[in-house]
Amino acid sequence: MSITALQYPMPQLPSTEPIRAKRWSPTKVISNATLLVIGAFFLLPMLWLFAASVDSSASWQLKIPDFTTRNYFLALQPDYTRALVNSLILSLIATIVATVAAFMAAYSFSRQHIPWKGPILLAILFLSGVPISILIVPIYKMFSYVGWLSIFPTAVLLGVTALPFEIYLIKNAVDAIPLDLEEAAHIEKASTWKILSRIVIPLTLPGIASAAIFGFVNAWGNFLIPLVLISRAAEQPGPVRMYGFMNSVAINYGAVAAFSILYSLPVVILYLLMSRSFRAGFVLGGAVR
């Protein structure tokens, strides 16, 4: 499409704004209405969560709460905040390990010639389908043999469980970049590192970001692996710690709700921070010109 065909001046920078439609076009109305309905679908079950977290006599029923902040107070006791910190450590290490390794592997799979690339990729895909509950026993035997029953090796393992998905996500993103860009840079004698950092990474940033978020949440919500592999109770992460509010004789629904809300805050914040990188990503077409 030739630029001269356009009647109005194009902005200098590639557009990062969504398409600006008329104020109340049918698209906008339908989109917002749909979102509100979907939002309701997400919100309604969570209503119970919010109500119970401030309810002093919370039960499984949705009801008007007897307001109290005691549940949040309980959820913020040192044992539980330490568990949140443990979760952060676990997830950050897992994410870094997984995303770095995945990016390197994805770039290699995408751009370079690897013998038996297809079968290897398929095998990686199969690996993601293995249920964790089966792997637990051999992994425990392995980790206990080498004395790795603590938080750092567990974090690496959690990263590994996300690795196959992340390779796929990033490879998709890398595949989308036309080779011309890299070839042009290569002709201009740019080093591999420069190609990666100046061209590939910025263009695939949304894909890398979604892979990183996936790796983070995969580690964040994991219950069985930390429970089995981390031997010291003080190093256990949030999902395991939450059982402190549930026992054989009583369940403190209010505290469970409060803790769950606190527990999901870091990821929401993370997402909101990273969603800027989605919007700042280059538009592909502009870069080719």
Partner 1 sequence: MVELVSNPDARTLDALVAENGARLDKPRFKPSSLLLLFPAAALLIGLFIYPVGYSVYLGFTNLQLIGPNAIHFRFTGLQNVYFLLSDQVFYRSIWLTLVFVVGSGAVGTTILGLVIALALQSALTSVRMVVSSLAIVAWTLPPAAIAIIWYAATTQGGVFPVMFGYPHADALYDHAMLVVSLANTWSLAGLAAIIFSAALRNVPQEMLEAAKLEDANAYQRLTRLTLPILKPTILTSALLMTLLSFGNFTLIYLMTKGGPSGDSNILPVYSYLQGFTFKKLGYAALLGDVIVLMSGALGIAYVWLAQARRSGRSPKSFSV
Partner 2 sequence: MKIRNIINANMPRRGLLALALTTALGAGTTLAWADAITLKVAYSADYFMSSPDLAKKWFGEIKDGFEKSNPDIKVDLVPIQGGYDDFLTKLSLMYSNADEVPDVAEVPAPEIGQWVASDLLAPLDDQLAKTDWWPQYVEPVKNEGTVDGKVYGVSQGVNTNALLYDKTIFAKANLPDDWKPKTWNDILDAARAIKKSDPNVWPLWLLTGTAQGTQGVVLGALNLMYGSADPEFYNEKDDKWVVDGKGIREVLDFYRTAAAEGLLAPASQILNANGPGIVAPYLPKHQIGITLGGNYVPQIWNNVICGPCWPEGVKDIGIAPIPTSQGQAPGIATAFSGWSLVMAKGSAHPDAAWKLINFMFQKDLALEVGNYGGLVPPIPSYISEKAYIDFAPSTQKGFADLLPVARSAPSNAGYKVWSFAIAQATETLVLHPETPIDQAVEGMKAYVAGQLGDDKVEVRK
- Is residue 67 classed as helix, strand or coil in its secondary structure? strand
Q: Is 184 exposed, middle or buried (0-12, 13-18, 19+ CB in 10 A)?
A: middle
Q: DSSP code of 146?
A: T
| CA 47 – CA 227 distance, rounded (Å) | 29
Largest CA distance in the chain: 75
273 binds, among partner 1, partner 2, none (CB under 5 to 8 A by kind): none
Which of 234, 268 has the CB closer to partner 1? 268
- In the complex, the smallest distance separating the C-beta of residue 253 from partner 1, rounded to whole angstroms, is 7
- In the complex, the smallest distance separating the C-beta of residue 70 from partner 1, rounded to whole angstroms, is 19
Phi and psi at residue 4, to the nearest 5°: -65, -15
Show Cβ contacts of residue 264 under 8 Å, excluding neighbours closer than 6 positions.
Answer: none
Structure tokens at 218: 């995969």
# chain residues binding partner 2, by CB under 8 A = 27
Residue numbers 8-47 binding partner 2 by CB under 8 A: none
1 binds, among partner 1, partner 2, none (CB under 5 to 8 A by kind): partner 1
The reply on whether position 140 binds partner 2 by CB under 8 A is: yes
Which of 79, 180 has the CB closer to partner 2? 79
Residue numbers 221-260 binding partner 2 by CB under 8 A: 224, 227-228, 231, 233, 236, 240-241, 243-244, 246-252
| CA 265 – CA 261 distance, rounded (Å) | 6
- In the complex, the smallest distance separating the C-beta of residue 27 from partner 1, rounded to whole angstroms, is 4
Identify the residue among 20, 113, 141, 289 touching partner 2 (CB under 8 A).
141
Give the distance, in angstroms, between the CA of residue 264 and the centroid of all CA atoms in the same chain: 12
| CA 82 – CA 93 distance, rounded (Å) | 17
Which of 250, 272 has the CB closer to partner 2? 250
- In the complex, the smallest distance separating the C-beta of residue 217 from partner 1, rounded to whole angstroms, is 5
| CA 77 – CA 257 distance, rounded (Å) | 15
249 binds, among partner 1, partner 2, none (CB under 5 to 8 A by kind): partner 2
Structure tokens at 246: 């549930």
Dihedral sign (CA 44, 215, 202, 286): negative
- In the complex, the smallest distance separating the C-beta of residue 56 from partner 1, rounded to whole angstroms, is 17
Locus of tokens 């997830």: 91
**Region near partner 2 per CB under 8 A, out of 35-43, 53-61, 160-168, 183-191:** 53-61
| Residues in contact with partner 2 by the rule CB under 8 A | 57, 59-60, 136-137, 140-141, 144, 147, 149, 224, 227-228, 231, 233, 236, 240-241, 243-244, 246-252
